[in-house]
Amino acid sequence: MPSRSELPGFLPRKKLIKALRKVGFEISAVGGKGSHIKIVWPPTQKSITIPTGVEKHALHYILKEIETYSGVTWEEIKKEL
């Protein structure tokens, strides 16, 4: 898990979702409320909600959930950005 100082200050949601798709996540057709999008890790069907703008503090918690549910690390995601 990277420290917050290693994360970008802001990451566009489209860019993050594109990278997450490349590492194996799927976009859920059902779920995500308003401007939020729900992504699903297929092997376990665990879902994570991504807000519109992903700022540093939110990105930290999203990455923590991603690593817990899927084992996918920030380094793997960063390669796909």
Which residue segment(s) compose the domain that 31 sits in? Answer: 7-80
Q: What distance lies between CA 31 and its chain's CA centroid?
A: 15
Total structural domains in the chain?
Answer: 1
Q: What is the pLDDT along the chain (81 residues), one digit of tens a residue?
A: 777 778 888 888 888 889 999 999 998 877 666 778 889 999 988 988 888 778 888 888 989 999 998 999 999 998 998
Question: Which tokens belong to 58?
Answer: 């939110």
Q: Token pair 């923590």 is at which residue?
A: 64
Q: 28: domain CATH number?
A: 3.30.920.30
In this prediction, residue 20 carries a pLDDT of: 92
1 is a domain residue: no
Q: What is the pTM of this model?
A: 0.83
Q: Token pair 């690390």 is at which residue?
A: 73
